[in-house]
Amino acid sequence: QVQLVESGGGLVQAGGSLRLSCAASGRTFSTYTMGWFRQAPGKEREFVAVINSNGAFTKYADSVKARFTISRDNAKNMVYLQMNSLKPEDTAVYYCAAKPSWVAGSYDYWGQGTQVTVSS
């Protein structure tokens, strides 16, 4: 069982930066692949970024590539999403999620989300 709690969201002007954090409980955190997703009002939830269990592999949505960076600290049971050069279209609720492996098809655990609002 893994419990996830996001934090770090807020209101920022376009061009600004935010760092989201996801705190995970559970002794097996370091074995999980972790992802960030987002959902804007009236839109479906979409993939943002993913990192494998030891941090060696990452993947990003084209819309955030070169602006966002996912990282993790397994000693602290934390996952981060550094977001730079934010745009109004990045406004959404951001969720972290955990799945048992890089190739697993679905995420088993989800956080409650944190709101990010980017003003123009």
Residue range 2-61, pLDDT digits in tens: 999 999 999 999 999 999 999 999 878 999 999 999 999 999 999 999 999 999 999 999
pLDDT above 70 covers a percentage of the chain that reads: 100
pLDDT at 79 over 90: yes
For residues 116 and 10, the answer to whether their CB atoms sit within 8 Å is: yes
Q: What's the pLDDT at 16?
A: 98
pLDDT at 101 over 90: yes
For residues 22 and 6, the answer to whether their CB atoms sit within 8 Å is: yes
CA geometry: angle at 26 spanning 52 and 93, to 5°?
65
For residues 4 and 29, the answer to whether their CB atoms sit within 8 Å is: no
Give CB contacts under 8 A, 24+ apart, made by 44-49: 45/95, 48/81, 48/94, 49/81
pLDDT at 1 over 90: no
Q: What's the pLDDT at 26?
A: 82
Q: What's the pLDDT at 27?
A: 78
Give the model's confidence band at 102: pLDDT under 50 very low, under 70 low, under 90 confident, else very high: very high
Q: What's the pLDDT at 107?
A: 97
